[in-house]
Amino acid sequence: MSFVTIIQYLVDFLTVATGVFALVAPRKIKGFTGLFPDNPRGVTEIRAVMGGVFIALGIVAFYFHSPSTNIMLGIMYLVIGLVRTISMFADKSLVSSNFISLAVEVVFGIIMLF
């Protein structure tokens, strides 16, 4: 197994871990995302969308580990990064946590495209 493949599996795992964190601790995700659910509907949304999507995509990429699943996950991270970049400027949200998230998204996206 190549070094790149090992790193890709790590990205798959971290994607699932992000989803699990959103699923089991939606009220603690504020420090990670800036989101804070102030009602039960918000908690459900964080669990379902952030938790569910990240868990599903990470598991699919890990289980099938094919060029197409890696590309799918890579594109997802790069599109999130692109939208984040646009939003950071449009919403005047040039804060360190956004730059950290953007860096992770770009690095993970590039890793998954190899």
Would the pLDDT of 6 be above 90?
yes
By the 8 A CB rule, do 98 and 88 touch? Answer: yes
Domain boundaries, the chain: 3-113
- Tens digit of each residue's pLDDT (9 = 90 or more) over 33-61: 888 889 999 999 999 999 999 999 999 99
pTM over 0.85, yes/no:
yes
- Containing 83, the helix (H) or strand (E) segment is helix 67-90
**Burial letters for 74-101: b for 16+ Cβ neighbours within 10 Å, e otherwise?**
bebbbebbeebeeebeeeeeeeeebeeb
Place of tokens 């971290």: 14
By the 8 A CB rule, do 101 and 109 touch? Answer: no
Q: What is the pLDDT of residue 31?
A: 81
- Which 8-state DSSP code applies to residue 34? S
